[in-house]
Chains A and B, each alone.
Chain A
Amino acid sequence: MIGARAIVALGLAGIMQTAAAQDLSWSEMERGRYLAIASNCVSCHTDLDHDGTPWAGGREMETPFGVIVTPNITSDDATGIGRWTRDDFWRALHEGRRRDGSYMYPAFPYTHFTRMPRQDVDAIYEYLRTIPPVEADHVPEEELLLPLQVRTAISAWNALHFDQGVFVPDLDKSDEWNRGAYLVTGPGHCGACHTDRNILGGEQEDEFLRGATLENWHAPNIRGGEHGGIAHWSHDDIVAYLGSGRNEHTAPMTRMGEVVEFSTQHLTEGDLSAIATYLKSLEDTPRDASDPPQEAVFQAGQATYFDNCAACHHADGSGEAYMFARLAGSNKVQSDDPTTLIRIILEGAQAIPTNDHPGPLAMPAFDWKLDDDQIADLITYMRNAWGNNGPAVSASDVADLRETLAED
């Protein structure tokens, strides 16, 4: 994928233009490669935890619908999608149906991919045909919750949660905004992690990109307009984060690290800018202020912070640009759901080396060093220091996550 940015710049025109274009085969394949990167297909369709063959599937995905094993999408006839036609592939992405017409589990983000026009889906198809066949059959050990144990029930789910149809540009907005909206809601499927779901696992429209918790990670609010989770990030901060894997505020780790590694760092500067333009347009409602913490808790947390965190994140929570996360003003630190915050302190996390920032970078694990009370007080402190505001975290919150993670 190295050099994708430079190569695709030649072949890729914006969605509005390409809708009318009739690509020749190489250009279509090349555009498909880029869209496959923008859709980050490879990340889920590779068993990353076990050094699996790229595109051959086998990754266990914990979803709101239970654990799903991703399928092989190489061009292998028997176990991959070698026998799929363009129409089969279009129906999968646009309608969420398998080749035999049955419904797919919505763990496959067809609710997003449906926004992609036929030309784009065909281009991805053309590119996937170039992936050498790998024989890899995954019998999914699905432990799905009702009502999705019955595939036919999905039609009912779809009726509630699936708004089928390609992206319709808002003609009142700029081309750049529309391109960003398309990338975010369509191929980028950002909402799959960042939009909270209802009890049936459907993304809630009024929670769009306001943050959600999945696989014991809280994907933060990424609305960039006033009161949004990344309102304090500039347009360029968003571009730098997605394009280079570092910005003045933080570095992507864990799940978002994958997204940057396999997808966004390979996108064109123009597309990253479009995404930023779109995210910066999403305002949010002001958050309710939470009560200040007890003074003793604040002081205990502060002491822990100074001993363990201040060396990298600095005493004033300002962090170190392009290296150590800025905690003052951080949406992750202040978010109502503290899952990610607790988890990062417990387990630590490693930032991915990117093309622009090849150095390794990690947050160390503190699970062996700090007990539940210390971590709870520390988090409560960080959520209320330096102008931050967020609800207190209790030792039992920490203990619960510690236990859950130990069981994994």
Chain B
Amino acid sequence: MTQLHREVDVVLVGFGWTAAILAHELTQDGLEVVALERGGWRDTPTDFPTTHAPDELRYYWRHEMFQETAQETQTFRNRRGQTALPIRRWGSYLPGVGVGGGGVHWNGQTFRFLPSDFLARSHNEDRYGPLPDDMTVQDYPVTYDELEPYFDQFEKLCGISGQAGNLRGDIRAGGNPFEGWRSDEYPNPPMEMTFSQHRFAQGAHDMGLHPYPGPSANMSRGYTNPLGVRLAPCTYCGFCEKFGCGNYSKASPQTTILPIVMQRPNFRLRTYCDVLHVNKDRDNTRATGVTYVDAHGDLHEQPAQIVILCGYQLSNTRLMMLSGIGEIYNPATGEGQVGRNYTYQVMSGVDVFYDDAYTNEYIGAGALGMVVDDYNGDNFDHSGLGFIGGAYIACWTTNARPIENQPVPEGVPEWGAEWKSALRKNFLRHTSLSVHGASMAHRENYLDLDPVYKDRYGRPLMRMTYDFTVNDRRLSEHITPIAADIARGMGGREIKVNSLDSSYDIWPYQTTHNTGGTIMGASPDDSVVNRYLQSWDLHNLFVMGAGAFPQNAGYNPTGTVAALTYFSARAIRDQYLRDPGPLVQA
């Protein structure tokens, strides 16, 4: 029997970054907000004290922070015609679970997309002519200028360390000259750079490029955010991604918002509550609430005036499919929007090995790095190159955790005495550059429901059909050699180029930047949600997260995800609450 709860104003599905932001924003207006999180409670003192937070076996190898595939997984194939198989152990990406979600175990690289990234179709077609038919790239229905205040708000919430390159149009030395205008400085100065970043900056500078400090959610100094929550300076311990920070030094929902939100009398959080579907009214115009299973296996129905999906992109997309909201995308016909324009990130890299210098990369932090944007977005002329978009090239010193990292030069065997000897020699004398490329939408890359595999409730798993595209390969082939040139200028003994030269492989870790599937657009004919992340189908349903990206830019997504969340929250507070209904007329 289903337990029926009293109706609340807002139910949030999932409780990571976007839900924490919304909980804070919406409870300010006195709304009664309930969040349902499928994982457990987590806080810094209890769950990641410094005494056992840096446990590589538990957190890296055994996936303590990640969604258990027994609870939810998906199937994967590279292309239509293949039979997709279920993922039984995450590899290429690591969806989070639990309070704080991925915001607990991210690195903290906090970028803003470029103004032209929001105009991926119109800007590129204006400059280079029509895009190929199979590239389903489209403009965001919101501009950089509209989002600027919200980028700023998130950076201040988190205490981002960085250096402005474009302050209200004034180009500043040492910052990123290509970035969109900023209304204010970063709230904190850049982090202390290590040997590797200095070498990278020198190498890039010698090539005429414009290195700048990576914008970092690891604190460069003690910081009290606008909500009054204090963060401590980063200790450069090198345990960010895949780990909770024991030193209160990495911005996460726990270290920035939750101490405030959890005290609000009109907010409640229920953990270990797994939402099965969004409920709809009879005439399919409104969501009426959600149905979920609690830790005892009991079914509950939580009615709500507003339903907001705040899970990971993969979970949100599947929940839309399982709830029968909108039409699932069919690549054969091009019809349907849910699951369309799944995109990812096009990654490659270059290792640098030194003979006479120690890089000591164990002194690291998730977002400790120098970056160049000269080849990102449309910061360079793409004429005749046959692709659009770009990549940042960065030298991040995130960690030298020994279970995860065994850097050895080209030609060294993968095991045995020779491998051991090479690892011993190179472990402290190595650094790497990453090429972090945009992923442009393609009609054959998509998400739908798997016809064979089911979850523990008997519901179909979501199926991912994805491979790198011609655009991806050309992008990577063009920019990876530039990264190699920078690497050669860093004064090492040798380099090793790790190119993108095969089909997408679901196993080796690349990045947890899965995007699209519930994309935003100008009309119901090209998208799932409008510019305010409001469902075209059910006006009181909103869908947060990177699923809204029509295609992915050459940056980490969190800054843009958060800005879109604040933008949506503002629209809900100022417009929707006053006059509930579609905020954009279809």
Contact = CB atoms under 8 A, between A and B. Distances in A.
Bound pair (A, B): yes
Contacts, number: 59
A361 B246 CA distance: 10
Interface stretch (A56-64, A84-92, A208-216, A351-359): A351-359
Interface stretch (B203-211, B229-237, B310-318, B413-421): B229-237
A366 B49 CA distance: 10
Interface in A302-332: 308, 311-312, 320-324
Main DSSP-derived SS at the B contact region: loop
A159 B263 CA distance: 49
A50 interface: no
A322 B230 contact: yes
Contact of A360 (B43, B51, B224, B228): B43
Given A358-B228, A362-B44, A364-B51, A323 B222 contact: yes
Chain A interface residue bracket vs B: 20 to 34
Nearest to A311: B235
B233 A320 contact: yes
B232 A312 contact: yes
Contacts of B129: none
A360 B229 CA distance: 9
Interface in B57-109: none
Contacts of A360: 43-45, 259
Contacts of B259: 353, 358-360
Main DSSP-derived SS at the A contact region: loop
Contacts of A358: 227-229, 259-260, 263
B49 A364 contact: yes
Nearest to A356: B228
A48 to B, nearest CB: 18
Contacts of B50: 311-312, 364
Chain B interface residue bracket vs A: 20 to 34
B392 interface: no
A313 to B, nearest CB: 11
A364 B50 CA distance: 7
B510 interface: no
A359 B49 contact: no
A353 to B, nearest CB: 6
Contact of A364 (B235, B237, B246): B246
A248 B259 CA distance: 21
A349 to B, nearest CB: 10
Contact of B222 (A321, A361, A366): A321
Contacts of A394: none
A308 B230 CA distance: 22
A389 B222 CA distance: 29
A350 interface: yes
Contacts of B235: 311-312
A401 to B, nearest CB: 19
B248 A359 contact: yes
Interface in B423-444: none
Contacts of A356: 228
Contact of A357 (B228, B233, B255, B263): B228
A361 B248 contact: yes
Interface in A331-357: 348, 350, 353, 356-357
Contacts of B260: 358
A362 B45 contact: yes
Contacts of B49: 348, 362, 364-365
Contacts of B232: 312, 320, 323-324
Contacts of B224: 322
Interface string B30-46: 00000000000001111
A356 B101 CA distance: 27
A323 B230 contact: yes
B247 interface: yes
B45 A357 contact: no
Contacts of A312: 50, 232, 235, 247
A173 interface: no
A333 B52 CA distance: 25
Interface centre among A312, A322, A356, A366 (most CB of B within 10 A): A312
A324 B246 CA distance: 12
Interface string B215-226: 000000010100
Contacts of A359: 229-230, 248, 255, 259
Contact of B45 (A246, A308, A361): A361
21 contacts: A311-B50, A311-B237, A312-B232, A322-B230, A323-B222, A353-B259, A357-B230, A358-B227, A358-B228, A358-B259, A358-B263, A359-B229, A360-B259, A361-B248, A362-B49, A364-B45, A364-B49, A364-B246, A365-B51, A366-B51, A368-B51
Interface of A: 246, 308, 311-312, 320-324, 348, 350, 353, 356-362, 364-366, 368-369
Interface of B: 43-46, 49-51, 222, 224, 227-230, 232-233, 235, 237, 246-248, 255, 259-260, 263
Given A322-B230, A360-B43, 10 more contacts: A246-B230, A311-B237, A311-B247, A323-B222, A323-B248, A359-B229, A359-B255, A359-B259, A361-B45, A364-B49
